[in-house]
Amino acid sequence: MGPILSMSDVVFRFFEQGKRNVLDHVSLEIEGGGRITLLMGGSGCGKSTLAAVAAGLYPENGGFLEGGTIKLGGIPVAELAPSRRAAFLTEMFQNPDLQFCMDTLRGEMRFCMENIGVPPSEMDGRIRRAAEEMGVAPLLDRPLYTLSGGEKQRSTLACLFVMESRCLLLDEPFANIDRAAAARIVRLLHRVRDGGRSIIVVDHQLDLWLDAADEIIILGEGARVLQRGITRENIGQYVRLFDEQGLFFPEAEEAKTASTRRFSHHRGEDGKPAVQFEGLSVPQGTPGRRGFLGGHTPSGEWLLRDADASFPAGRMTAVLGPSGSGKTTTFLAALSQHPYEGTIRVLGTDIRRMRRRELYRRVGIVFQNPANQFITQNVAEEVRESLRVWEKGLMAAECEARAEEQLEAFGLRPYRRFSPYMLSQGQQRRLAVLSVLAGGQRVLFLDEPTYGQDRRSTDSIMEALRRKVSEEGLTVIFITHDRRLVRAWADKAYLLEDKKLMEAAP
């Protein structure tokens, strides 16, 4: 069987007159017929853009293809209508919210099949099989906007499965999914591969794919292929390449975690609580609604019951828990954006007694989807605006200088004139963290702050947070599924599971 995907000397950029090629003379072939291929590369090297170009989304929906050819199953992508294209390849985006068109998962799956001409008589059977395989049957008729990030991710995968394309292209498929759920999906993809379908994965999490991938390909700047033919058997030969490209390599990361864990605290802090939960109960429901606090939610379901917790000032505290357990919703409750029972105190004050502006002046947040919080159309302006909002009277020249310095530290200076929405999701997350740090709040809530980052960017983000903790007494509370991150950086940890919030060893 020939290649399912073939790219030859592809040059792509977002700006017609731009100096930077996002894809810079890329040539790549992926064989069809039941293979799992893992694409790895540094944050911002062009992996997600390559995926979008391969799927025919670019330049059809933006950007400029300056040269080269892209073929699916030997046919030029430009000659394939979207419905025919989907028979060869379907893509899962990093951000599932960008992929949904309908109100429920059942409706979304029917919509996907309608677009490729599946007979109505086959739809219910396909939906049932895909939902059972992906473990999303209980989600089929729930409004999509009520699902957690992990539930949305699995729902998107179910939509791809129901279309039965010859090749699935998955861009960071384990966003907001806990490790156990990710391992289950990898096992499912094994079965899909064994059934003759090809799978192309863009991911930073090598350890999850090491046993599953038939080939690992390392991409460099401009998404050019640096090395291919890497397998579990020969990967030990490429430790230096992984290190040079700033990528995670499991054994090296475990050794580093064990040797570099540090707890530098702000001397002015004595560990007293910056945030406290007292008898906190959080219901399921629509974020942002007020009311239905009389003991029952409309569905009668609770995410958290009668929790007591203390998050010490001038420390870094991690919150772990399975996908859908209620971690993000509990954060929203602490920001007065979701109903709750009990008491939440921030810096000693009950948040019910605080105006929202006062609360947000004390507490900043980086959302699970960072694109939801951008307020400008320019990367540098996003940081400058944060500085201006929270540091009244800051001179324009100093504001500019500080913004440029911080963009350089986070590896975003080359993109300072880009729209935030043109960045990869990993770059968007770095920008969101940087913008919040510029705000000067005393407490930061971060929802998966390092998801989609390579090793170098992860270290950069966490070092910046730790520096703020040790030098300024910042309190950091972060949600994560990455236990290595917890071991390396957390002073304290909680586990949210089965409606309980329990202290756990970092």
In this predicted structure, what is the pLDDT of residue 340?
95
In this predicted structure, what is the pLDDT of residue 269?
55
Looking at domain 3-96+166-252, which of 3.40.50.300, 2.60.34.10, 3.20.20.140, 2.40.128.640 is its CATH number?
3.40.50.300
Beta bridge mates, 101: none
In this predicted structure, what is the pLDDT of residue 256?
52
Which of 168, 203, 215 minimizes the C-alpha distance to 189?
168
- Token pair for 205: 């999490």
User: Where does residue 44 rank: exposed (0-12), middle (13-18), buried (19+ CB within 10 A)?
Assistant: buried
In this predicted structure, what is the pLDDT of residue 157?
87
CATH architecture for segment(s) 273-504: 3-Layer(aba) Sandwich (3.40)
Local confidence pLDDT in tens for the 506 residues of the chain? 689 999 999 999 987 766 688 999 999 999 888 899 999 999 889 998 999 999 988 998 888 999 999 999 999 998 988 888 888 999 988 777 778 899 999 999 999 999 888 999 999 999 999 898 888 999 999 999 888 777 888 898 899 889 888 999 999 888 777 888 888 888 888 888 888 889 999 998 898 899 899 999 999 999 999 999 999 999 999 999 999 999 988 765 554 554 455 555 655 555 689 999 999 999 986 544 444 343 344 455 899 999 999 999 999 999 999 888 899 999 999 999 999 999 999 999 999 999 998 998 899 888 877 878 888 989 999 999 988 887 777 888 999 998 998 898 888 888 888 888 888 777 888 898 888 888 778 999 999 888 878 888 888 889 989 988 998 899 999 999 888 899 999 999 999 999 999 999 87
CB 153, CB 177: distance < 8 Å:
yes
In sequence order, which residues have a C-beta less than 8 Å from that of residue 124 and are 6 or more positions away? none
Domain(s) labelled CATH 3.40.50.300 in the chain stretch across 3-96+166-252, 273-504
Alpha-helical runs (H) found in 89-229: 105-115, 120-134, 149-163, 179-194, 206-209
In this predicted structure, what is the pLDDT of residue 296?
42
Alpha-helical runs (H) found in 41-100: 47-54, 82-88
CB burial string 26-39: b at 16+ within 10 A, e below: bebebbbebbbbbb
CB 243, CB 273: distance < 8 Å:
no
In this predicted structure, what is the pLDDT of residue 135?
84
CB 59, CB 52: distance < 8 Å:
no
Which of 321, 327, 346, 347 minimizes the C-alpha distance to 336?
346
Does the N-terminal peptide bond of residue 59 adopt cis geometry, omega within 30 degrees of 0? yes
- Token pair for 192: 């899909």
Alpha-helical runs (H) found in 250-364: 250-260, 327-334, 356-362
Q: d(Cα 90, Cα 73) in Å, to the nearest integer?
A: 13
In this predicted structure, what is the pLDDT of residue 295?
39
